[in-house]
A and B are shown apart, each in its own frame.
Chain A
């Protein structure tokens, strides 16, 4: 079912590239200082910062990955949004931005330096810099692989061209260019996917029709089957999910990852900065319908060509609906093929290529014209992720590594130059990582694992730093280190069901516990890491001397004045908006219970 893009499709994509580059060119002349380049001069209006906050996070992994998850697990995937993102976004906006923005820190590691000490900043800066540049590479690899598989485009050409375009607009226009393009990419993704969901749902007979075709109640309810891990396809129970995903992992990402926090730091005022993540939460709540539903639909539809052919043979309509387009596939989801072109099997069952669920939907329902828009939306989602990683990297490199440890006293213009240089070598490293990932798939898995270990304890450190004045630098540093080790240890002593020791865990020797699924193991690793960091930080803080309170003003909750909300209208108050989001969130969870 390989699509044949026509001239119109290429025209649409080229037009998008032209605009994205044009925006970069126009912004070049506004990049006069390093603050302009790395922080947009702190002048971005809340609605723009909010959409950029959401869009920078929306890498293709999300669009493709959520579709894959939807095909595999059903509507429970919404937990990644409704539990695993929105509450953390509200928290960072209402409670943490006053410290990020008020401290005038120019990055997340810099906040750690102001609140704690250099070694804590260094640990965070270096691990984040490495992580973000490799994440970008992984993104590029995923995009190249997809475009090659779907359209037959050359892998190297595809990633080189998109990397060069991202390089051009971030090099010229800095963070502002990345942010403006992220807003553009947001609208593109929304406008590209709404018709897909509409056509898909219409084809299966709406939500009720979809439920009937899927014929597995656990795939169409998000909470009903969470009582026990063997009752739902994800293999997780509600506690592991709430603590692991909702709390540790989600707060760990949204509250401490500079990629998103940077967009809020670029806002034009304290209230704008606080509102940025809350504004982003509104569309975030709706995204499950755009990205998860196509995955769910992909597993239960077929192509109309097959439908007509079978109908001519006299095959009954309902069985045609269930038949798969690819031999061994499910719906329009193909199996994974090995080098010989045969479907890969594991334990006698065919392994499906779930990542192709959403792309196959695009190919199935979009004629040429709209197909160009759909492909453009897909490419845009990759590029917004890449640009987000690039701007986060060049800032952390320049301010937290270069300025802190290598060259402390250069001029602002020199740092601006260094930022541009970092944009180039950051993307170069990402490109190399993408090529390495192509050759050695397992390296990818190892890398992702290490990053998960580093991320899991982070939120404990920030929470204690922002809300408990007694936390000390030694406590923070050793807590972070200890939490990371706890994660690696827990993972090394456990295994998910049916896996062999190695990259899936159990590498320390004795297997102390077998989890029902990889997801369950991940959530519990996160919980152990967080608890380890939390405990260690408190204990060591109590044993070491704190800094004088005067130095911590504006950095800790109890020593900072509450943000001024005097002259604001109700829809401008971050807390009021957050409450509205929570009410809507509760409603959504009830509807899909």
Chain B
């Protein structure tokens, strides 16, 4: 009913991904990564995963609409 829920889910995760990658890049090398996430810049990494997931969701909406 209504609209395809994959679109807002996709949009939200895409935005999250962009935000985290941006913030992660801006704080690259900060002590907070050594203190928390074992030295790994999880913001950039996981932001990338979220972005990919978000785009995949939006992609699925497009395919569904064409088909």
A, B co-complexed: yes
Does the CB pair B42–A16 fall under 8 Å?
Answer: no
Q: How far is the CB of A267 from chain B (nearest CB, A)?
A: 12
CA distance A8 to B37 in the complex (A): 17
Does the CB pair B36–A8 fall under 8 Å?
Answer: no
What A residues does B43 contact at CB under 8 A?
A: 367, 369-370
What B residues does A199 contact at CB under 8 A?
A: 37-38, 40, 42
Partner of B5, one of A36, A184, A303, A365: A184
What B residues does A217 contact at CB under 8 A?
A: none
Chain A, residue nearest B11 (CB): A19
CA distance A486 to B36 in the complex (A): 51
Does the CB pair B50–A367 fall under 8 Å?
Answer: no
Whether A27 is near chain B, meaning CB under 8 Å from some CB there, is yes
Chain A, residue nearest B49 (CB): A191
Chain B, residue nearest A366 (CB): B36
Q: Produce 1/0 per residue, A88-115, CB < 8 A to B.
A: 0000000000000000000000000000
Q: Which of A10-60 contact B (CB under 8 A)?
A: 11-12, 15-16, 19, 22-23, 26-27, 30, 36, 40-41, 43-44, 48
Q: How far is the CB of A524 from chain B (nearest CB, A)?
A: 43
Contact A26/B12 with A305-B35, A367-B37 known, Cβ cut-off 8 Å = no
Whether A228 is near chain B, meaning CB under 8 Å from some CB there, is no
Does the CB pair A184–B9 fall under 8 Å?
Answer: yes
Q: Which of B7-23 contact A (CB under 8 A)?
A: 8-9, 11-13, 15-16, 19-20, 23
**Size of interface on A: residues with Cβ below 8 Å to B:** 38
Q: How far is the CB of A15 from chain B (nearest CB, A)?
A: 6
Q: Which of A515-572 contact B (CB under 8 A)?
A: none
Chain B, residue nearest A179 (CB): B5
Does the CB pair B16–A373 fall under 8 Å?
Answer: yes
Does the CB pair B36–A304 fall under 8 Å?
Answer: yes
Does the CB pair B34–A12 fall under 8 Å?
Answer: no
Q: How many A-B residue pairs have CB under 8 A?
A: 97
CA distance A203 to B47 in the complex (A): 21
What A residues does B19 contact at CB under 8 A?
A: 8, 11-12, 15, 369
Does the CB pair A22–B42 fall under 8 Å?
Answer: no
Interface centre among B13, B30, B35, B49 (most CB of A within 10 A): B35
CA distance A337 to B35 in the complex (A): 26
Does the CB pair B32–A191 fall under 8 Å?
Answer: no
Does the CB pair B9–A12 fall under 8 Å?
Answer: no
Contact A304/B1 with A369-B20, A369-B43, A370-B46 known, Cβ cut-off 8 Å = no
What A residues does B53 contact at CB under 8 A?
A: 187, 191
Does the CB pair A41–B1 fall under 8 Å?
Answer: yes
Q: How far is the CB of A493 from chain B (nearest CB, A)?
A: 50
CA distance A12 to B8 in the complex (A): 15
Partner of A26, one of B2, B9, B23, B47: B2
CA distance A48 to B8 in the complex (A): 14
Q: How far is the CB of A214 from chain B (nearest CB, A)?
A: 20
Partner of A191, one of B8, B23, B35, B50: B50
What A residues does B47 contact at CB under 8 A?
A: 369
Contact A304/B16 with A22-B8, A44-B1, A195-B42 known, Cβ cut-off 8 Å = no
CA distance A30 to B2 in the complex (A): 6
Contact A48/B5 with A15-B15, A367-B32 known, Cβ cut-off 8 Å = yes
Does the CB pair B16–A365 fall under 8 Å?
Answer: no
Whether A176 is near chain B, meaning CB under 8 Å from some CB there, is yes
Does the CB pair B36–A367 fall under 8 Å?
Answer: yes
What B residues does A370 contact at CB under 8 A?
A: 20, 37, 42-43, 46
Q: How far is the CB of B34 from chain A (nearest CB, A)?
A: 7
Whether A183 is near chain B, meaning CB under 8 Å from some CB there, is yes
Q: How far is the CB of A484 from chain B (nearest CB, A)?
A: 38
CA distance A277 to B25 in the complex (A): 42
CA distance A370 to B47 in the complex (A): 8
Interface centre among A191, A364, A370 (most CB of B within 10 A): A370
Whether A322 is near chain B, meaning CB under 8 Å from some CB there, is no
Q: Which of B22-67 contact A (CB under 8 A)?
A: 23-24, 27, 30, 32-38, 40, 42-43, 46-47, 49-50, 53
Q: Produce 1/0 per residue, A180-199, CB < 8 A to B.
A: 10011001000100010001
Q: How far is the CB of B13 from chain A (nearest CB, A)?
A: 7
Contact A195/B34 with A23-B8, A176-B1, A187-B13 known, Cβ cut-off 8 Å = no
What B residues does A414 contact at CB under 8 A?
A: none
CA distance A362 to B38 in the complex (A): 14
What A residues does B32 contact at CB under 8 A?
A: 367-368
CA distance A183 to B9 in the complex (A): 9
Q: Produce 1/0 per residue, A353-387, CB < 8 A to B.
A: 00000000000111111100100000000000000
What A residues does B3 contact at CB under 8 A?
A: 26
Contact A203/B20 with A30-B2, A195-B46 known, Cβ cut-off 8 Å = no
CA distance A352 to B5 in the complex (A): 42
Whether A513 is near chain B, meaning CB under 8 Å from some CB there, is no
What B residues does A12 contact at CB under 8 A?
A: 16, 19
CA distance A36 to B1 in the complex (A): 9
What B residues does A27 contact at CB under 8 A?
A: 1-2
What B residues does A373 contact at CB under 8 A?
A: 16, 20, 46, 50
Interface centre among B3, B8, B13, B32 (most CB of A within 10 A): B8
Beyond A40-B1, A368-B32, A370-B42, list 6 extra A-B contacts (CB 8 Å): A36-B1, A48-B5, A180-B8, A304-B36, A366-B36, A369-B27
**Chain A to chain B contacts (Cβ below 8 Å), 17 pairs:** A12-B19, A15-B12, A15-B19, A16-B12, A27-B2, A40-B1, A176-B1, A184-B8, A184-B9, A184-B12, A191-B53, A203-B38, A367-B27, A369-B23, A370-B37, A370-B43, A370-B46
A residues adjacent to B (C-beta < 8 A): 8, 11-12, 15-16, 19, 22-23, 26-27, 30, 36, 40-41, 43-44, 48, 176, 180, 183-184, 187, 191, 195, 199, 202-203, 303-305, 364-370, 373
**What are the 3 closest A-B residue pairs judged by CB atoms, nearest first?**
A369-B43, A367-B32, A367-B36
